[in-house]
Structure 1
Amino acid sequence: MTRTADCDRRDCRGCAADGTGFCHVTGRPLAGRDGPGGLTESPPTAGTKRRIAADRLFTARPAGDGLLDLPFVETPSPEDLVVEDWQAAPGGRVCGWQGCTQVVGRSYAGQPALITGYCSRCAHPFDFTPQLAPGDVVGEQYRVVGCLANGGLGWVYLAQDTQLEDHLVALKGLIHTGDRVALHLAGEERRYLTLLDHPGIVRIINYVTHPSRGAGEEDGRTGYIVMEFVDGMSLSQVRDRIARREGPFGEPRVLEYVLAYGCRILDALDYLHRESLVYCDLKPNNVMHHAGRVKLIDLGAVRRLGEPGGTVLGARGFMAPEVVDHGAGGLSVRSDLFSVGMTLRALSDEAGPRVPGLGSESYERAVARATAEDPRSRFASARDMAEQLRGVLREVRALRTEREHPEPSTLFAPTAALLDASLGRVPPLERWLSGERRPVLDVGLPAPERVPHDLPVPHPDPEDPGAALLAQPTTSGPRRLIQQLYASGRESVEIPLRQCRAHIELGELQSARERLTAAQAALGTAAAYDWRVPWHEGLLHLAHRDTTAAEGDFDRVYGSLPGEYAPKLALGYCAEHRGDTAAAERYYQAVWQRNRSQGSAAFGLARLRLAAGDRTGAVDLLSGVPEVSRHYDAARTACVRILAGRLPGGDAGALPDLSHLTEALTRLPRLYLDEGHRTGPARDRLEAELLDVALDWIRAVTTPAAERNDGLFGTDDEEFTIRSRLEHKLRGLARQARTPAGLGTLVDLANRVRPKTRF
């Protein structure tokens, strides 16, 4: 015989462990393995043929269109969920006798788990048979219908409240009432549950006792928690449906459901954490999807934060490594968040990659941060994690539907600056004074040192001592602002970070580095885990024109904040700058599809289209910037310039065709220029640029006017008309010149394009 995983005794020369707790070759108890600090494996719910059959009775209708909407789970009659051929769970249960943490009653070699037997360590008998039978009345009020399942601590029964019109409730008792650990945990669950009131957490109704079936109980009675009956599917059952691609769980939207589960679970955990409680045992079995909602059930492992010692109940595959290593000493808010991440991963691993663009990567980064080995690398709170998951959810939804799903960021302020060097601006007068006769349209990629001014700006941490000062509006320039912040004398992280950005604005990069170092010193050991540090490192590297280093910094920020716009804009720029158009496209699209008011993403995508010679594609993108966006006017200006511009290619650039020039002339009068006036210097410069290109176009055209649908202006002599209008505009530009030399240059240009007289 071969040694089995259940027997690790050195004196055993081969045994047949059969799940009774004893080797039937040597007759000796099988050795067990203890977890640290009273760590106890949370057993799975018992599987039964009846329950498996009942699972098939659940149906799921399609979800609504809301962001957090889930498929609507329709349940069968509650009586159909009653287990008639109950069995013990194949994973066994904790012995619990006088604190023994050995797992007993495991299934073996494909045989059902044992209902009765002996503990391999303490040799105490165990008995997992249900203590209540259909028809029993518990607490003189609750009539038992039957068993629903056996959870980590005891059987759960369906019952009717005879004093409330037979309202259905769930009774939870102990499998073995001599189990002191279980008794303690049941008491803790009752105490915590009576204090909790949240729609995402199972509600306790009452606590009653009933005569015990077996002998030897301490007082001859067993306690039962009376809870609301939550009808629905556990997330373990949902996971199976995802794997089978069944119903709504087989739709392309399935990852959005997984993210919605995460947001709803985190909402419930945030409530617990604010009550100084940790859940400890989050796993798919302990989350119920009922109707269109989610509810945490089986709170038997809930503990108060900082509570020393005691048994920690949890599923090892979903338990944070510090809890596995240190038991109760490793419990924290972040250990709960680890379990959330593992629960989401259990669901999404079955879904497979069915998300376009950057959505899958953003999701994976969110889960990776939640499940980081080092607790300090994880999200700081359930609220922080939920905020990032919502951002990822909006991104995934927008990429799938190509409809925007915006939400203001709580971490970054929107900026009036635009990630564009020239496309959205009316050309300056120097465009005609440079001496270049046929300038090619500048696609507008900003220089790296300019980009720190164009990216979103972090909001000050509201908990920072300097936050109130930084929130005050100011008209001071960067130099004066730096001085004022020094004068405040406050111990702060946000103040040196703001000074760092001001020094970058002034080009004082050594001083900027010093202020960032001061912020890191104020953060102490937390600096290695704070996203603000790599964000400002990235800004500094851009200011030094080191886009490679900056890209690494912004990638770290993306890993910390996968639901935010800002790091994706920064990464899009870095990828575009190094010529990786595919990566730049993914980053910009993730921002643009989610929020069409993000003009920087639209301009980035437009530049990529122009680099590929797609004039129409660039215009279509920029035309999608909505009027509510602060970048709307710049986008409309860019459209006219792109339609009428010379694109890179050939000796003099690729000229637009007639349809593009006509569209540009149509759009030009509708632009908001010169403070809304119908005429003015900006409008004159833009029209002069358009006419300059139109003149080259008409000279390159060989088709007779009669065959060109009346040409650009619908006149008999198109070239004469264009030259006349361009001459007039250039003479108007001459009046904008600041020097005699500039005036002379513009007058010479006007004379050069002046049409020949017809007489």
Structure 2
Amino acid sequence: MTACARAGCAGSIDETGYCDTCDLPPLSTGSSPAGSSSAGRSGAAPAGSGAAPAGAARSSSARPGAASPPAAASPPAAGPARRRGAGDDPFPLPDFDFPDPESLVLADPRVPDRARTCANERCADRTRLPAQESGHCLSCGTPFSFRPSLAPGDVVEQRYRVCGPIAHGGLGWVYLARDGRLNDRYCVLKGLIDASDAALTAFELWALTQLDHPNIVGVYNFVRHPDAHTGEVREYIVMEYVPGLPLSVVAAEAREGGSRFGEPLRTEHVITCGLQVLAALAHLHERDVLYCDLKPDNVMLRPADRSDPDTRIKLIDLGGARPAGDTTRPMVITRRYQVSVAEISARGLTVASDVHTAGETLHRLYRATADHTGRHVPAEEHRREQRRIAVGIASFELVCARARHPDPERRFAGAADMARQLRGVRREIASLRDGRPRPEPSEVFADSAVLLDAGLGAVPPLTRWTRGPAGVPPAELPLDVGTPTPLAVATGLPTPRPFPDDPAAGVLATATEDARRLLVQLAEAGLDTAEAAFARVRAGLAAGDPAAAAAGLARARGLAGPADWRLWWHEGLLRLAAADCAAARRHFADVRGALPGEIAPELALACCAEHLDDPGAAEPWHLAVWRRDRSVGSAVFGLVRAHLARGDRAGAVALLDEVPEVSRHHDAARVAAVRVLVGRLPDGARPSGADLDEAADRLTSLHLDGGEPTGESRTRLETLVHEARFGLLPPADAASRAGDGLRVLLEADYRALARQTSDRGRRSDLVDLANRHRPFTFR
């Protein structure tokens, strides 16, 4: 294959005559990339899809050979993006200007050579057509005509005045017209190329009249008009005129460094487009209709207008749409976006094949973004941006990968299922890019109340002073920044929500939180379902009964399908509890591949990486979770551990300060900040005097001991502050009267701690500690 000559494209010209990467025709000498774009792409009307021979698939396309109109030949200068009416979407597409619709009319409408094929499905060589607009096939003699059947100025059924052709598709020419009965409103007439396509267009007409959705082009009428050349009466669908650009043109402009948005094309833009496409597909699938030919050419980006204040995506060209399960109609597909021939032969076109085309479309659009190409920004800035959003981009690629999985059973269950994960990915990328949290409740996992902080957010227990290393003074003890144990992680990660159709779901919704009691309840209920088995796994781990957990997992394997992500999740929990973190990480990675938009798998992977001594992998996971949702306190404590491991005390405290007051972990974060400020770090670094002053100030505002000004918790934290100050004294001062003031405080602290225990041995140890710090006297 020939390499594509377009700047920045590494693709090749495939058998269709177009690049397999940028989706554009070869770049001819002396022509601009935009100038070689098709009129079908630069126009705005629905481009038709051609009918395949009976029982055979063929590629439909809207790539006329005429040059694009001036408005699409070169993108406008990038100006500030305008955003209107966000509606229900927190990530609205920027508005953009679009030229006069009549500027899209083709001055010299011609069908490209690659679209010129004989209509006779039994023709031995359907490409043997003479180089003229009409005539007879040189192979079989079948007549053909590629001339527009309507001319500018024609009036159809005394109502629609034709402006001219703006695109050509497999089913014929597409014309811009004005509706004389509705204030000359622009509309589109889409005609047939020959009578054999009537069945396809009849279904398209039915589908369009039954499908009322803001992301699907609307149909207004069905009309007839004699052909200007033959006098034969032809039929036309009157459709909504969709101003704007096909996504193929948007992508092509972005690859060349332009943007209609006045800002670079980003992954978030692609996802927003994808979500609207998926909304349209879900609408079709709910009515047992398959779209079949999804690709950037068939998706219009329509700018905002007076009737709709949002920039919006519109699916056009339902010429390939078909009832689900229909195996008799010719398939109208584009091969490089569709599933394999083997899958079509075995299963036909299905919801799973529509999901595949959605994944392929998003994947190709992403390759045009500035995030992928590096256009619009200096190289170093692009590299920094890529590092910042790397986890989110990987999540997006996983969405595309699952949608395009070779096994249809491993793809998303449908468009709505794919959209749920894509929304999470969009929030993740946007939050990583600008640092603003964008939380959204998960429909898959329930929030966990467990804080995986390894005790850093808690007031230290008395054992810190009574069971410390022998011969090490309390002021010399390092801050304990250890990671949560694998078992603590396994029992503290978010819990999958029960599938509502499982018979055990009702029992689990009202079950006790006591793990041992839950095991008894499940046994008494006699439920033998996947959810009951998974619940036994979790309850067994929480109750310290690994045998019960293993038995639950063994039963789950027999009840859940091999591609059920819940099975992989619980396999990971069991491996993690057994401290086999490498195996656990593999299972959690499988869950992330199935649920790329969820937080829980990323948190699990972060904790596994910490135990595998891979902080370089753990920190990005924790950061991705924390940037997106600051209610997940376990993530910020993971980040704090990473900062403290490299001696970044200030960075750790700054992260703890990000925990919002409404979080259930806010108090733990404030306690942890005091401990970090006074603690001796793993590298031996002591706090500065300024650190200790700040810790003392923070301590006065902490809500401790039920709000009492004095109490056990406050005494312990005050003891830490005094110990840290004593540890800063030079040895000579610590042993002389210069340290007496701190010695008095510490003596009082340790005696107060002694009063907090009823254990004689611990009390004696604390009194001894107080006596050792008592200032020397001569009385």
Q: TM-score range by the shorter chain?
A: 0.7 to 0.9
Shift of the 392–203 alpha-carbon distance from structure 1 to 2, 3 Å rule, reads: same
Q: Given residue 433 of structure 1, which amino acid in structure 2 is its aligned partner?
A: T
Find 1:171's aligned residue among 162, 178, 189: 189
**Aligned-pair distance for 1:604?**
0.5
**Aligned-pair distance for 1:70?**
1.4
What CA distance in whole angstroms lies between the structure 1 residues aligned with 2:631 and 2:210? 45
What CA distance in whole angstroms lies between the structure 2 residues aligned with 1:106 and 1:89? 14
Shift of the 328–499 alpha-carbon distance from structure 1 to 2, 3 Å rule, reads: closer
Q: Given residue 191 of structure 1, which amino acid in structure 2 is its aligned partner?
A: W
What CA distance in whole angstroms lies between the structure 1 residues aligned with 2:129 and 2:761? 96
What CA distance in whole angstroms lies between the structure 1 residues aligned with 2:706 and 2:241? 65
User: 1:169, 1:228 within 8 Å by CA — same for their partners in 2?
Assistant: yes
Superposition map of 1:243-258 within 5 A: 243-247=255-259, 251=263, 254-258=266-270
User: 1:89, 1:106 within 8 Å by CA — same for their partners in 2?
Assistant: no
1:484 to 2:521 alignment: yes
* 1:727 matched residue in structure 2: 747
**Aligned-pair distance for 1:398?**
1.0
SS for the counterpart of 1:392 is: helix
More divergent stretch after superposition (461-470 vs 566-575): 461-470
**Aligned-pair distance for 1:385?**
0.9
* 1:297 matched residue in structure 2: 316
**Aligned-pair distance for 1:105?**
5.3
* 1:529 matched residue in structure 2: 563
Shift of the 313–702 alpha-carbon distance from structure 1 to 2, 3 Å rule, reads: farther
What CA distance in whole angstroms lies between the structure 1 residues aligned with 2:201 and 2:289? 16
Find 2:540's aligned residue among 498, 503, 506: 503
What CA distance in whole angstroms lies between the structure 1 residues aligned with 2:324 and 2:767? 80
* 2:632 matched residue in structure 1: 598
What CA distance in whole angstroms lies between the structure 1 residues aligned with 2:530 and 2:764? 55
* 1:309 matched residue in structure 2: 328
SS for the counterpart of 1:68 is: coil
Find 1:573's aligned residue among 596, 607, 611: 607
Superposition map of 1:327-726 within 5 A: 329-351=347-369, 352-353=371-372, 355=386, 356=388, 357-436=390-469, 437=473, 438-472=476-510, 474-523=511-560, 527-649=561-683, 653-699=684-730, 719-726=739-746
What CA distance in whole angstroms lies between the structure 2 residues aligned with 1:228 and 1:600? 51
Q: Given residue 79 of structure 1, which amino acid in structure 2 is its aligned partner?
A: E
User: 1:93, 1:152 within 8 Å by CA — same for their partners in 2?
Assistant: no
SS for the counterpart of 1:289 is: strand
User: 1:58, 1:76 within 8 Å by CA — same for their partners in 2?
Assistant: no
What CA distance in whole angstroms lies between the structure 1 residues aligned with 2:260 and 2:354? 28
Find 1:85's aligned residue among 89, 108, 123: 108
SS for the counterpart of 1:419 is: coil
Select the structure with the greater relative contact order (CA < 8 A; seq sep ≥ 6): 2
SS for the counterpart of 1:146 is: strand
What CA distance in whole angstroms lies between the structure 2 residues aligned with 1:371 and 1:745? 66
What CA distance in whole angstroms lies between the structure 1 residues aligned with 2:631 and 2:621? 16
What CA distance in whole angstroms lies between the structure 2 residues aligned with 1:51 and 1:758? 101
What CA distance in whole angstroms lies between the structure 2 residues aligned with 1:38 and 1:313? 9
**Aligned-pair distance for 1:53?**
5.5
More divergent stretch after superposition (292-301 vs 343-352): 343-352
SS for the counterpart of 1:72 is: coil
**Aligned-pair distance for 1:374?**
1.0
SS for the counterpart of 2:727 is: helix
What CA distance in whole angstroms lies between the structure 1 residues aligned with 2:742 and 2:264? 54
Q: Given residue 112 of structure 2, which amino acid in structure 1 is its aligned partner?
A: A
Q: Given residue 343 of structure 1, which amino acid in structure 2 is its aligned partner?
A: T
Find 2:213's aligned residue among 180, 198, 201: 198
**Aligned-pair distance for 1:55?**
4.3
More divergent stretch after superposition (597-606 vs 349-358): 349-358
List per-residue Cα deviations over 1:297-322 (Å, max 9, x = no partner).
00111111112322110111111125
Shift of the 192–100 alpha-carbon distance from structure 1 to 2, 3 Å rule, reads: farther
What CA distance in whole angstroms lies between the structure 2 residues aligned with 1:660 and 1:491? 57
**Aligned-pair distance for 1:435?**
4.1
Superposition map of 1:266-305 within 5 A: 266-291=278-303, 292-305=311-324
What CA distance in whole angstroms lies between the structure 2 residues aligned with 1:717 and 1:115? 107
List per-residue Cα deviations over 1:153-193 (Å, max 9, x = no partner).
12111111111111111010012x23x1x211111100111
* 2:96 matched residue in structure 1: 73
More divergent stretch after superposition (687-696 vs 250-259): 250-259
> Unaligned 5+ residue runs, structure 1?
7-33, 704-715
Shift of the 75–748 alpha-carbon distance from structure 1 to 2, 3 Å rule, reads: same
SS for the counterpart of 1:74 is: coil
What CA distance in whole angstroms lies between the structure 1 residues aligned with 2:214 and 2:513? 49
> Unaligned 5+ residue runs, structure 2?
1-13, 17-51, 304-310, 373-381
SS for the counterpart of 2:681 is: coil
Q: Given residue 354 of structure 2, which amino acid in structure 1 is its aligned partner?
A: D
SS for the counterpart of 1:502 is: helix
List per-residue Cα deviations over 1:469-490 (Å, max 9, x = no partner).
2222x44511111221233334
What CA distance in whole angstroms lies between the structure 2 residues aligned with 1:380 and 1:120? 47
List per-residue Cα deviations over 1:511-565 (Å, max 9, x = no partner).
2122122223222xxx222211111111001110001111111111111111111
User: 2:81, 2:96 within 8 Å by CA — same for their partners in 1?
Assistant: no
Query: Cα RMSD between the aligned structures?
Result: 2.7
1:133 to 2:151 alignment: yes
What CA distance in whole angstroms lies between the structure 1 residues aligned with 2:124 and 2:177? 32
SS for the counterpart of 1:331 is: coil
What CA distance in whole angstroms lies between the structure 2 residues aligned with 1:81 and 1:379? 38
* 2:43 matched residue in structure 1: none
Shift of the 5–125 alpha-carbon distance from structure 1 to 2, 3 Å rule, reads: farther
* 1:116 matched residue in structure 2: 134
User: 2:622, 2:639 within 8 Å by CA — same for their partners in 1?
Assistant: yes
What CA distance in whole angstroms lies between the structure 2 residues aligned with 1:311 and 1:553? 42
Give the % identical residues.
44
**Aligned-pair distance for 1:214?**
5.6
* 1:185 matched residue in structure 2: 200
Shift of the 297–418 alpha-carbon distance from structure 1 to 2, 3 Å rule, reads: same
* 1:157 matched residue in structure 2: 175
**Aligned-pair distance for 1:439?**
2.1
Shift of the 624–152 alpha-carbon distance from structure 1 to 2, 3 Å rule, reads: same
List per-residue Cα deviations over 1:282-337 (Å, max 9, x = no partner).
00000000101110000111111112322110111111125x65359421112111
**Aligned-pair distance for 1:101?**
8.7
List per-residue Cα deviations over 1:65-112 (Å, max 9, x = no partner).
864321323211111011121110342156444x5598945999xxxx
User: 1:541, 1:549 within 8 Å by CA — same for their partners in 2?
Assistant: yes
List per-residue Cα deviations over 1:250-277 (Å, max 9, x = no partner).
8466111111111111111111111111
Shift of the 370–584 alpha-carbon distance from structure 1 to 2, 3 Å rule, reads: same
What CA distance in whole angstroms lies between the structure 2 residues aligned with 1:88 and 1:315? 18
List per-residue Cα deviations over 1:220-260 (Å, max 9, x = no partner).
42111111100100001001111012136684661111111
SS for the counterpart of 1:300 is: helix
Q: Given residue 442 of structure 2, which amino acid in structure 1 is its aligned partner?
A: S
More divergent stretch after superposition (66-75 vs 230-239): 66-75
What CA distance in whole angstroms lies between the structure 1 residues aligned with 2:627 and 2:740? 45
User: 1:392, 1:562 within 8 Å by CA — same for their partners in 2?
Assistant: yes
What CA distance in whole angstroms lies between the structure 2 residues aligned with 1:471 and 1:114? 72
* 1:209 matched residue in structure 2: 224
Q: Given residue 588 of structure 1, which amino acid in structure 2 is its aligned partner?
A: H
Q: Given residue 495 of structure 2, which amino acid in structure 1 is its aligned partner?
A: V
